[in-house]
Amino acid sequence: MKDEDFTKKVVFVAVCISISACLQVFSDWFIYWRPALLTEFWRLWTAHWVHVGWIHFLLNMLAFACLPFIFPHARTRHMILLLMVLSPFISIIFYWFMPHIEAYAGLSGVLHGMYVAVAIVYLKYPKERNFAILVLALIVIKIIWENTWGNSRTAQLIGSPVLVEAHWLGAFGGILAGSAYLLKRKLIYEKVDKINR
């Protein structure tokens, strides 16, 4: 990783963690709150940046801070785009298809989507393919584990029930985002190839 890329990633992570910490102080104004969602539209995004407590915040920020460094080819602008797209993707699905979800806070659903999207893109790099497959397999195992018998310990740790729907919705959004990126790259390469013939 070039020094310039490393610096961009450090700044990106620091800014995101700082924003999340500031929002955390006034979390009631920023959580996903279904009755207020259509009039306070910022909650579509901010709900994923506030957390139910500081332990929850620290766990998610640790996972977030690792992402750009364990996937060094991931560009900062792509991660920003994922943050901007996955947050409302999850919130809108909650609103329209899961009306029983009244409140939500946490970045974990978006994190699942980001890890899945980046890992899918990493499948195109032969040297990193095995690592990408490992990450995807671990996410699948984690989601299965959470949806069967495993989320009670996490709930005890963060002091709130785990909304596993956010995790699998985020992962699904990540599949869509990663696949769309690969399809776009393929179409660009095919277009360039036709021009060069």
The pLDDT tens digits for 82-128 are: 999 999 999 999 999 999 999 999 999 999 999 999 999 999 999 99
Amino acid 120: pLDDT: 97
CA 75 – CA 68 distance, rounded (Å): 8
Q: In this predicted structure, what is the pLDDT of residue 188?
A: 84
pLDDT at 163: 85
Q: Sign (positive/negative) of CA torsion 40, 23, 45, 171?
A: negative
- CA dist., res. 159 & res. 114, Å (int): 24
What is the per-residue pLDDT for 191? 76
Q: Packing angle between helix 108-122 and helix 76-97, nearest 10 degrees? A: 130
Q: CA-to-CA distance for 137 and 102, rounded, in angstroms?
A: 31
User: Quick one: pLDDT at residue 86?
Assistant: 98
Task: Give the torsion sign (CA, 90, 10, 122, 137).
Answer: negative
